[in-house]
Amino acid sequence: MADWTSYLNFGISIAKQASEIVLTAFHQQKEVTLKSSPADLVTETDQRVEKILISAIRNQYPQHRFIGEESVAAGERVELTDSPTWIIDPIDGTVNFVHRFPFVAISIAFSVNKQTEFGIVYSLVEDKMFHAQRGRGAFLNGQPLHASGQEDINRCVVVTEIGAERDDLALSTMTTNIFRLLKLPVHGVRALGTAAVDMCQVATGGADAYYHIGMHCWDIAASAIIVQEAGGVVMDTDGSKFDMMSRRVIAASSTAVAHHISQVIQAFPCRRDDEDPSKCVCGATGVNGLS
Ligand code: LIP
């Protein structure tokens, strides 16, 4: 098995360097533009940091490929091949960044042969560096991470997001999901505003599950391996194998909790990240057989 440790260390170092730009801008006035909805924001800092990260990686590894949130927003297609590929969200939690809500992360995942080899999530306001390398464990600022192992849904804290969608169908589906979980009941539902940091809470054991519909591969590619390496499970919301391009995910402390959530929540189909952008399909269906 190839050793990607030097690539991981390079990724951690450029995430730390780029975080200085984000942190400086965090305290300043920002120019905000909208993407897919009135709640899907982007700033010049998102775009600048992604360019800096990609340029630094390309300089070090000229043959590697990239999937970056802002490159895709500028028209690049999402294509995960067998080639070494860096999957980058330069600022995960852009709404938080704009509002100075202190949960903002740089998320970097590295994939070879369509398998994630390592993930880095730097929650930069908190100065929390989460990382994991396939087969070598998950860490927070160098300390090992372990998921809670909780198997009883009624003893769970569940993290989720409403996301940027503001159409009635998406909002009613997502609020109904929260209602259904609260009525089980679960101990609590939380949302930090960044998928990457949300999901890392499962790796710390501080939350027992995270689920989301509508996020993108760059939001969760890194945190998925961090949860898995911390002993958690990651799957699709319909209970099938995790597919980072599907825009649906459940990460949990145990298979039992993940499957319970899969049976309770409903999903609405959205265009896959790797689908032709013109083929957007939106509509609530009982993807899990729920009406
Ligand atoms: C964000 C996600 C968050 C979701 C937001 C947005 P971004 O990513 O991390 O979970 O609720 O709608 O998608 O756009 O800040 O990189």
Of 121, 115, 264, which Cα lies nearest the Cα of 186?
264
Closest ligand 1 atom number to CA of residue 165: 12
Q: Which of 89, 161, 198, 236 is catalytic?
A: 89
Report whether 34 contacts 73 (CB < 8 A): no
In the structure, which protein residues have their CB atom closer than 6 angstroms to any atom of ligand 1? 69, 89, 92-94, 161, 163-164, 194-195, 215, 219
What mean pLDDT value characterizes the chain?
Answer: 94
The model's confidence at residue 269, banded by pLDDT at 50, 70 and 90, is confident
Q: What's the rounded mean pLDDT across residues 216-228?
A: 98
Considering the domain delimited by 153-264, tell me its CATH architecture: 3-Layer(aba) Sandwich (3.40)
Query: In this predicted structure, what is the pLDDT of residue 276?
Result: 79
- pLDDT of residue 11 exceeding 90, the answer is yes
Percent with pLDDT over 70 in the chain = 95
- pLDDT of residue 285 exceeding 50, the answer is no
- pLDDT of residue 288 exceeding 50, the answer is no
Q: Which of 54, 57, 67, 91 is catalytic?
A: 91
Considering the domain delimited by 5-144, tell me its CATH architecture: 2-Layer Sandwich (3.30)
pLDDT, tens digit, for every residue of 180-215?
A: 999 999 999 999 999 999 999 999 999 999 999 999
Query: In this predicted structure, what is the pLDDT of residue 281?
Result: 53
- pLDDT of residue 265 exceeding 50, the answer is yes
Ordered by start, the domain boundaries in the chain are 5-144, 153-264
pLDDT, tens digit, for every residue of 155-182?
A: 999 999 999 999 999 999 999 999 999 9
pLDDT, tens digit, for every residue of 85-139?
A: 999 999 999 999 999 999 999 999 999 999 999 999 999 999 999 999 999 999 9
Closest ligand 1 atom number to CA of residue 42: 14
The model's confidence at residue 36, banded by pLDDT at 50, 70 and 90, is confident
Say whether 91 is catalytic: yes
Q: Give distance in angstroms: CA of 132 to centre of ligand 1.
A: 21
Closest ligand 1 atom number to CA of residue 96: 15
* Pair type for strands 157-160 and 188-190: parallel
Say whether 89 is catalytic: yes
Q: Which of 43, 85, 94, 237 is catalytic?
A: 94
Say whether 69 is catalytic: yes
Partners of 105 in the β-ladder: 92, 123
Pocket test residue of 94, 198, 220 for ligand 1, highest count of atoms within 8 A of CB: 94
Closest ligand 1 atom number to CA of residue 214: 13
Pocket test residue of 91, 92, 96, 167 for ligand 1, highest count of atoms within 8 A of CB: 92
Could you tell me the two tokens for 245?
A: 């391009």
Say whether 165 is catalytic: no
